[in-house]
Amino acid sequence: MDINLKRGLLEIGVLKILVNGDSYGYQIVKDVSRYVEIQESTLYPILKRHEASGFVTVYSVEYNGRLRKYFKITREGKRRIVSFLKEWEEVMEVYDFIKEGIYE
């Protein structure tokens, strides 16, 4: 998969995971990895970007005598997913156009 396409999908994938409920770094990696391969080092900049863009907020919860950072999706984050899905419909139209007649 093209690296830029993968990056874009990962960004939306992370937001989608957070729609299901607040989560933390390691759990997000595990959940997203079911669909797209991702490492902790890849997730870090994505989370930072989402935080800077206001798509997620961060809060800490005590767990086993340490603090664990949880990420929560915001309204803007959910809007971003909707916007992505609309854009993707346009992409699919182009995809169908490109695909037409190619495999025949």
Nearer to another protein among residue 49 and residue 99 (C-beta): 49
What does the alpha-carbon distance between residue 53 and residue 12 come to, in Å, rounded to a whole number?
Answer: 13
| Binding span for another protein by CB under 8 A among 13-21, 63-71, 72-80, 86-94 | 63-71
Q: Hey, what amino acid is at 97?
A: F
Q: What percentage of the chain's residues is helix, strand, coil (to nearest 5)? A: 60, 15, 20
Nearer to another protein among residue 12 and residue 51 (C-beta): 51
What does the alpha-carbon distance between residue 9 and residue 19 come to, in Å, rounded to a whole number?
Answer: 15
Does the footprint of another protein cover residue 72 (CB under 8 A)? no
| Binding span for another protein by CB under 8 A among 6-14, 44-52, 72-80, 83-91 | 44-52
